[in-house]
Structure 1
């Protein structure tokens, strides 16, 4: 399996394309743009269907295959009015970020070239959850937590339940296994909803030939699901049969690395 990372924007676009097929009973309002500078963002706001860029509070962040953007102070948002991030705020911030080299806490250095801009989602900490899936040897592994956000890695073993799923397991057994491993911290009123979403998430991961898929956090407000942050890698050996299913997702060079030649 050749794992190749895709942008957060492309991962969310794949979710949106297949949402109705996989996530029955849940709603995902995909609103997102990928831009390279402030003028491009302003131009997007003039297009039909993108009026929300001028009407809603926004969040902007780089979309360049590196994590911990919050800890690197590379997320532009404000949690409450007055002073919500406007279209012009986001455009100016993006232009400031592309004007100079950035050094991450990891030591990686490079120039920011791509940004994802979305509506801000008001919510409380207890509405954040964590879910991811990957393949380990002959099995898939689903990771579930009642706690999402930047600090989920702290105390991972206590916070996150690991569910090992043999690739030959039938759907009924998968549902039973997920139910038996649902995190204890999930409120009773959300337990069935979370179980249903986790089962559907795993089927989506498997059918769409992801090699790794993480949402951290996913915000659950009733049946409305808000994918705030996403990391995804595709199994590119399946690319020949996925066609439009992957929404034209590209495999960009990771931040801080030199672009590969066509031969490479």
Structure 2
């Protein structure tokens, strides 16, 4: 019903208007709140910031204040090691999921760079 009401019709979100033509729909997977994470990658003059917090979900809140941050320099020869990514971004995440999350963050960053994104956010 939600999609049918909006598909092909102009919608306005804040100051941006446009017609919705494509929708991504994922199945709902029940999971505990403490397994939701938030990641943001954004480009600045000196490189790309990765912001990560163990508190994802609908009410992420003030991400800038609570997220762990890692600056990836423009010179990718200085790309951080897996250990540095884990120790910087995953301080508040159970050790048992560090390898999976480091792999996810590394692959996500590769897509970010390959596709020339300037901003990416996943909650």
Q: TM-score range by the shorter chain?
A: 0.7 to 0.9
Distance 1:176 1:167, change over 3 A: farther
2:49 paired residue number: 141
Structure 2: runs of 5+ lacking an equivalent: none
2:90 paired residue number: 183
1:132 paired residue number: 40
CA drift at 1:181: 0.6
Q: Secondary structure at the match of 1:119?
A: coil
Q: Secondary structure at the match of 1:203?
A: helix
Compute the TM-score of the two structures, normalised by the length of structure 2: 0.75
1:213 paired residue number: 120
CA drift at 1:115: 2.8
CA drift at 1:136: 0.3
2:4 paired residue number: 95
1:121 paired residue number: 29
Distance 1:118 1:193, change over 3 A: closer
Q: Residue 182 of structure 1 contacts residue 195 of structure 1 at CA under 8 Å; is this kept in 2?
A: no
Larger Rg: 1
User: Number of residue pairs matched?
Assistant: 123
Compute the TM-score of the two structures, normalised by the length of structure 1: 0.39
**1:203-227, CA deviations, whole angstroms, 9 ceiling, x for partnerless residues?**
23223322222211xxxxxxxxxxx
CA drift at 1:128: 1.1
**1:132-156, CA deviations, whole angstroms, 9 ceiling, x for partnerless residues?**
212100311111111112322x232
